[in-house]
Every structure is written in structure tokens, then in C-alpha cells.
Structure 1
């Protein structure tokens, strides 16, 4: 009896999506542009591409700079620039209007697999397979150095490889995640580390994951840090005492990407089990059935209003899911409204 019920639940979610075809290698990142009518994706095919959500077609030519796979992208707070990290170890700053690279920062010795912005748009943070996290000053285009707000140029994270970096909402702290030992093909206990963004000093080490930490997200109120791991779990952490508060363990494969909705009430997670899951962060339970994909899913990103979700897949395609419709069918429309006041 379980099988027919399961199929019935999955059907609505699958119909609420758009498919964007054109990349020739896995899609590693996807972000929504202001206005709600375009997304940008990046891929191992060495390109960034802009897509029209109405026509489901690519806008203009591919964005290319050099001949290196693009592993990660992030949109600036003002919506005018995109930063990307590539396998050649470079961090590139793109102007959305011109579709060109305006700055290129070098210093990492291995692929840059995670990038993010500070809330004020003045800094970019990058994490690399070389085990370091670096901060870059956007205006000057240089790495931040001690004379400028006493910011450390580079943090030796003590991860063997850094897979995820994120600023706290007030930009005073940096969280890093990755693999804490050499790659052997076997799971290894790995931690989330918290750093003082000005001094580079270690603030806390969060233990619990039994394999590499691959993604991080910080709630806007700064009270909760969320981590996803190759151990298939998602964990939430109280940033007041750095204690683990919950484990979300419905995935059956590596968790590659997570994103929090703008109102802070929904979590999306992407996994090697070929699904994306939506979670109610208030009760930490799954919302509806998993969003099925044809291959491993690498990334998730909410639109500004939280009504759409972009995903990138190893089948070379990107997708847009109608979150509002999925919530409506689950009788959870309220999750799109503002955060509940306790």
C-alpha cells in the first residue's frame, strides 16, 4: 500500500517545475536575479549562463573567462555583480550589465568551491581545496590585509579541504566546513569551524558530522547555523552556545547544497540521492515529498520572495520549482508569510 501513496505524493511536485537545457556539463550553481524574471547558472562546462524564466531560454551568449570549470557563484547584495569561484583557483567578479569580468583575484592554490558576500557588499569570502578561506576587498580588488580594519588576508582553517564558507549576518564571524583529513575515499569525521573575521582566531569547533561538511547557511537573525554533509545529514547549531540543536536525516546520499528561504521558515537541501527536500524549520519536518531529479543535485537557491526554487543537477540541467504551489498542495501556504513571533 505504501508505494501507490508515495507516487501520488510525488506527482504534484514534479509538475511544478521548469527545465533549462543548454549546459554541457553538470550545473554547480544557480542564483536568482532581481526582478524575478532571470536566473544565472554556472557549470563545469566553464561557463555562466543567464536564463529567461518566461521563455525558459538562454539570454545572450555564454559568459566565459579562461578555460576552467566554474564551481560556485554568489550574487552581490545590490544585485549588480556576481562572484564566481573556479577550478583554476581564481575568484572572479562579474558585472551583470556587461557580462564581463571586472576583477580577478588570485592566491588560492587549488579550486575555489565556495564563495559568498558580506551583507554590506564590501567583502567576498572564498573557500578552497587548498584548505584556506580568504577575504577580498571588493572596491580595491585586493585581499584584505591587517591595515584595513585589521582583517586577516587568509585563514589556515585546519581543514584539509574547504568545501563551504559563510559570513555571519553581521560579518563578525566566518564559518568554514570541509574535510578534516586527507582524501582516502572513506568517510572521516569533519567539523564546522567558527572564526573571528577580524583576527582570524578560532572561536569554536562544532563536531558531530561523520564525513565532510559540504555546505553551510546562516539564518538572518544570526541565531542558527545550518550545515550539510557527505554523511547525508543536516545539522542545526545554536550560535549562542554552539550546541547542536537538531539533525535532519531524511536524505540517503551526500548533501551538497542548502539554502534558507528569505523569511527564514523553510530550508531547501540538495543531495546525491537525486532529490531536493523542503523542510519546515519551525518543526524541522519535511514539507511534501522529495523533488525528484534525474541525477545528483548540486545546488539550491530561493528567489527573493521565496516562491521559487532554483536547482542545478549533474544531468547538465537547471530547474525552477514552484514552491508556492508545492506549499499550497501541502496546506502549508502560511510558510511563505513573515516569520512567526514567539
Structure 2
């Protein structure tokens, strides 16, 4: 909450809290003893972390204690993407089992799903208005789902690995990163691409919009963060 710390995860199942200014580790490591961790997402109140494990479990962690609060099961393969709803009451998870699930944070019950997407899901994202869930798959393909009914619209049936998705604060623009070292902006009202793909030197692993929606940030395997107007 004070903007001075960051939580990082690694493939060995460990979480580490680091000082943003010095990079030094703060306190003991947190450990997911079941499996490696494929993804993490911090809640908007900065009090909880949702994680996805290689064994298909979705876990809720306390930031204060570094301990698991709840474990949710429903996936049959690795979970590589999780995202909080804007109100913090739900978490959506995407898995290599080809499905996504929406969980109620308080009860741990499934609100929606498992929903079959037809392919391994490596990216899930809530829209800021909580009306849409976007999914991206390993063999290419972006779908926009109604967050309550799970009806869907195809935005792009590309054949390139979709690794990350983000939706702008005004719910009008989506960005997704591809395995060909590019990121593409999409108009969600027309379901058409905006401009040409954004090219980076390395594989684009993460994308996000600034709070005011004026800038796009991308991060890749070349260990650089790029800011786009």
C-alpha cells in the first residue's frame, strides 16, 4: 500500500517481498509447498494475493502473514493466469485444461464455470466495469465473455500464442501480447485492430494500461519496460 514494496514469484513455488528502492528481500520467503507457481495477482486493497499453481490449485494468500487463507480446486491442469474483479469479490482463473472459472472470494464457491474455451488458457482479464472477461489461448485466439452468462464473442482467431491481456479503464480498448514479440490494440466496440502491432526486441510477457488510460506499459524477456502513448 505504501508503494515501497513489491511481491515477486518464481517457478520454484517461492514468493519474495522486496524493497523497491534497494531490491533487498524483506522477511522470510513464502512457499507454495504443493507445486510451482504459474501466476499471481494482488487484490486492489493490497491485503490478499491470488495465485495459480502447476497442480491446478488456486490459492488465496494473506499479504500480512504470507500464509495461505484458502485453496480452491476445480482445474485439472496448470493455472497460468488469475485476475481480480474490480470490486475484489471475485477471482477468475485460466488453465491449461482449456477452461476458466470465476470464484467467490468470501465463500470459495464457483460462481461461473468451469467454462470450456476450446484451448489452453494462458491469459484472463476482467474489464474495469466487471461486465466482460477476456481470455487468450496458447494456440491463438481471443474471446470476450459476458461475465455473468458466459456467452462469448470472438474478437480474434489468430494462430499466435496469446500470453497477456489488459483492458483500458474506459472498457473500450483491449491490448494483448503475442508470441511473435508484438502487442496489438483492439477496439472492443468495433472488434477491429487499432493500428499496426507494437514491436519489441523480446517476447512480450506482460501488458497493462496506466490508471488514466493514456499510456500502455509492456514488459518482455529483454528485461525492459516500454511505455507507449
Aligned counterpart, 1:110: 77
Structure 1 residue corresponding to 2:226, chosen from 241, 261, 278: 278
The runs of at least 4 aligned residues of structure 1 exceeding 4 Å deviation read none
Q: Is the partner of 2:224 in helix, strand or coil?
A: strand
The structure that has the greater radius of gyration is: 1
Q: Which has the higher contact order (CA 8 A, sep 6+)?
A: 1
Whether 1:141 and 2:90 are equivalent positions in the alignment is no
Whether 1:43 and 2:2 are equivalent positions in the alignment is no
Write out per-residue CA displacement over residues 80-100 of structure 1, whole angstroms, 9 at most, x where no aligned residue.
111111111111100111111
Aligned counterpart, 1:197: 147
Task: Tell me how far apart the structure 2 counterparts of residues 210 and 124 of structure 1 sit (CA, whole Å).
Answer: 27
Query: What aligned pairs does 1:1-342 form with structure 2 within 5 A after superposition?
Result: 34-144=1-111, 152-158=112-118, 160-180=119-139, 190-202=140-152, 204-207=153-156, 209-272=158-221, 274-281=222-229
Where in structure 1 are there 5+ consecutive unaligned residues?
1-33, 145-151, 181-189, 282-342
The Cα of 1:270 is off from its aligned counterpart by 2.3
CA contact (8 A) 2:74 2:114 kept: no
Task: Tell me how far apart the structure 2 counterparts of residues 205 and 113 of structure 1 sit (CA, whole Å).
Answer: 21
CA contact (8 A) 1:75 1:83 kept: yes
The Cα of 1:253 is off from its aligned counterpart by 4.0
Where in structure 2 are there 5+ consecutive unaligned residues?
none
User: CA, structure 1 residues 214+123, in 2 after alignment: closer, same or farther (shift >3 Å)?
Assistant: same
Task: Tell me how far apart the structure 2 counterparts of residues 254 and 88 of structure 1 sit (CA, whole Å).
Answer: 25
Write out per-residue CA displacement over residues 132-174 of structure 1, whole angstroms, 9 at most, x where no aligned residue.
1110000001211xxxxxxx2221112x210100011111111
The number of residue pairs the alignment matches comes to: 229
Task: Tell me how far apart the structure 2 counterparts of residues 252 and 53 of structure 1 sit (CA, whole Å).
Answer: 26
Superposition CA RMSD, Å: 1.5
Q: Is the partner of 2:110 in helix, strand or coil?
A: coil
Write out per-residue CA displacement over residues 53-88 of structure 1, whole angstroms, 9 at most, x where no aligned residue.
244211111111323111111111111111111111
The Cα of 1:208 is off from its aligned counterpart by 6.2
The structure in which a higher percent of residues are helix is: 1
Task: Tell me how far apart the structure 2 counterparts of residues 173 and 259 of structure 1 sit (CA, whole Å).
Answer: 17
